[in-house]
Amino acid sequence: MNLPTLTSADFFPMLPAIIMVVGACILLLSEVFLSAHSSRGYQAVLTAITAVIAGVVALKMVFEPAREVFLGFGALDPFSSFLTFVVCVALALATLTSAGFLRKRGAERGEFYALMLFATAGMSLLAISNELITLFVNLEVLSISTYALTSFLRRGTRPSEAGFKYFILGAFSSAVLLYGAALLYGATGTTHLTGMVLPLANAVRTNPALVYTGALLVAAGFAFKVAAVPFHMWTPDVYEGAPTPVTALMSAGVKAAAFAALVRVFVTVGPGLDPQLPLTLFSTLALLTMVAGNLLAIPQRNVKRMLAYSSIAHAGYLLLGVAALFATAPGEAFSLLGSTSLGTTATPQAVARAEALRGILFYLLAYTVTAVGAFGVVSVLERREDEERGTAWDLERFSGLAQRRPGWAFAMAAFMLSLAGIPPTVGFLGKLLIFRSAVDAGLIGLTIIAVLSSAAGVYYYLRVVVYMYMRPVPEGAHALERNWMTEFALVVSTVAVVVLGIAPGPVTEWLVQAGHLLGR
């Protein structure tokens, strides 16, 4: 019989993940040789360097031609490579804000960074997973790492409660996803996404309920991971209770990876399904998520919680982009980023889809640099003593920040403007791309609702700016400790938010390339 063989080329797309796992193992091993009081400053630096190397490798891979690897278990394509780059950015920035955060709490440990690296490796592998079981395993690697990270600081009820809620609801959603995958396997006899298309087209005719329920359950599982309404309930509690750098990684990285997997599953399997199903499903989710997410954020005075709700709202905009992927009646062929990778014979659908993919990816990058930066500012302002009382993240903390730390205030203002989608920031460009692809895909009504809800969002983002710039410094405000690593991360994020918003430069080149998803 023919025995399948694996070559080094098959391992190539895993390279970023391998780099991160090696980094994690070095951290775990080095921890053995340290006493409780040893200096651990190198750990964050090492993690950040690992993330940067992995990110650079991922960027190089963006220009590799798309192909299946690992006997079809994995898919190397510019889409997944760009996504790996995004999660590496999230990891590097989140790590830099971790060092000072953990040191203040006396909890700096190699295990923390190792878990961050494991989680990110899981995200990277999730992006290339092209088979349901592989996908599930990687989802679990990433989920379990984040469960542990959430309750890493065991002290106090909030972290424990957050970890517990996340674990219970996360396990539930994983089970739902697995059940859906099993039903899809039952309908098609395979777990390979690419191999599923033909049998699915048959099964839709013979046993539609099995296919539909399977697809719905898988979608519900993903909806939980990306925090789409009504599967979002865990988000604010978990984001608030988790250590702030972990929240940053979750809001940016976990969301990006889950979106990547969701997009890959439904885009690949899509041709076998009724095209109306994903469109209806994701349009509905997008609608609910955008409206409810923004409304939930409005009454929040707790900035960390507000950012959690805001991340729900942003998941809604991303879902709008996902819905645009499945538009059946796109508008006139008006190409947003040029159709270089598509050739001249591309159908309007293909063009619209490539644009939506690029929009989603750029939005994820934009959200990553912005949100991680914003959580970075939150993390330098909070004090452990206030956490239990829940006042650590009150808006009051931001009063007069512009006078005390103009640099931080400027950075936070840039992040808030970017989250609100106001030019000249990267968030504006991201929104522009998503909205444009949605308009192009013919989702006019949904785009208008997106715009209206994001207009409501302006209120709670700019309130932070008002507090920083227009309120006096409160009496008895505690001293603000500086930390060079966190500040470095803030500088990087701010520069990225502003510069990418004015001149995206090479990023557009990568992006043009990354609109290519295998099996389209």
> Which of positions 29-48 make contact with another protein (CB under 8 A)?
36-37
Q: How far apart are the first and last CA of the chain?
A: 31
Which tokens go with 105? 């709490």
Site string for another protein, 422-441 (x = CB under 8 A): xxx---xx-xxx-xx--xx-
* CA neighbor of 132 nearest in space, from 209, 190, 211, 208: 190
DSSP state of 69: E
Any contact of residue 512 with another protein (CB under 8 A)?
Answer: yes
Q: From CA 505, how far away is CA 300, in angstroms rounded?
A: 36
Determine if the peptide bond prior to 474 is cis (ω within 30°).
Answer: no
Which residues have CB under 8 Å from 425's CB, separation 6+?
Answer: 370, 414, 417, 418, 497, 498, 501
- By beta-carbon proximity to another protein, the closer residue of 54 and 135 is 135
Binding mask 240-269 for another protein (x = CB under 8 A): ------------------------------
**49: CB partners within 8 A, 6+ apart:** none
154-173 positions binding another protein, by CB under 8 A: 154-155, 163-165, 168-169, 172-173
Q: Which stretch binds another protein (CB under 8 A): 79-87, 201-209, 256-264, 482-490?
A: 201-209
Give the dihedral sign, CA 28/34/40/42.
Answer: negative
Whole-number minimum distance, CB 314 to another protein, in Å?
15
Q: Which is nearer to another protein, 165 or 404 (CB)?
A: 165
Provide the 3-class DSSP secondary structure of residue 209. helix
By the rule CB under 8 A, 22 interacts with another protein? no
CA proximity to 416, closest of 450, 357, 460, 363: 460
Using CB under 8 A as the binding rule, whether residue 1 contacts another protein is answered as yes
Q: Which is nearer to another protein, 165 or 488 (CB)?
A: 165
SS3 150: helix
The residues, any chain, with a CB within 8 Å of residue 34's CB and separated by 6 or more, are 40, 110
Phi, psi of 392 (to 5 degrees): -65, -25
Near another protein in 206-245, by CB under 8 A = 206-210, 212-213, 216-217, 220, 224, 229-231, 233-234, 236-237
**Tokens 């690419």, located at residue:** 194
Of residues 289-318, those binding another protein (CB under 8 A): 292, 295-299
What residues are paired with 75 via a beta bridge? 68
Distance CA 170, CA 165 (A): 8
Amino acid residing at 481: E
Comparison of 145 and 493: residue with beta carbon closer to another protein: 145
- Taking the complex as a whole, the smallest distance from the CB of residue 77 to another protein amounts, in Å, to 20
Specify the stretch interacting with another protein by CB under 8 A; choose among 99-107, 344-352, 370-378, 477-485: 99-107
Contact letters for another protein, residues 43-82 (x by CB under 8 A):
---------------------------x--x---------
Binding range to another protein, per CB under 8 A, among 242-250, 252-260, 364-372, 418-426: 418-426
Task: Give the span between the Cα atoms of 150 and 241, in whole angstroms.
Answer: 7
> In the complex, what is the shortest distance from the CB of residue 151 to another protein, in angstroms, rounded to a whole number?
6
Q: Judged by CB under 8 A, which of 22, 52, 59, 456 binds another protein?
A: 456
Q: For another protein, which stretch binds (CB under 8 A), given 93-101, 252-260, 314-322, 469-477?
A: 469-477
Nearest Cα to Cα of residue 307 among 398, 432, 386: 398
Total residues contacting another protein by CB under 8 A comes to 116
Output 234 or 488, the one with its CB closest to another protein.
234
Tokens of 374: 């914003």
Question: Are 27 and 110 contacting, i.e. CB atoms less than 8 angstroms apart?
Answer: yes
Site for another protein in 366-385 (CB under 8 A): none
Site string for another protein, 470-509 (x = CB under 8 A): xxx-----------------------------xxx---x-
To another protein, the closest distance from the beta carbon of 52 in angstroms equals 23
All residues at 6 or more sequence positions from 79 whose CB lies less than 8 Å from its CB, including other chains = 127, 260, 263, 264, 357, 361, 514, 515, 516, 517, 518
Report the residue from 72, 195, 331, 407 that binds another protein according to the rule CB under 8 A. 331
Taking the least distance from each CB to another protein, the nearer of 188 and 483 is 188
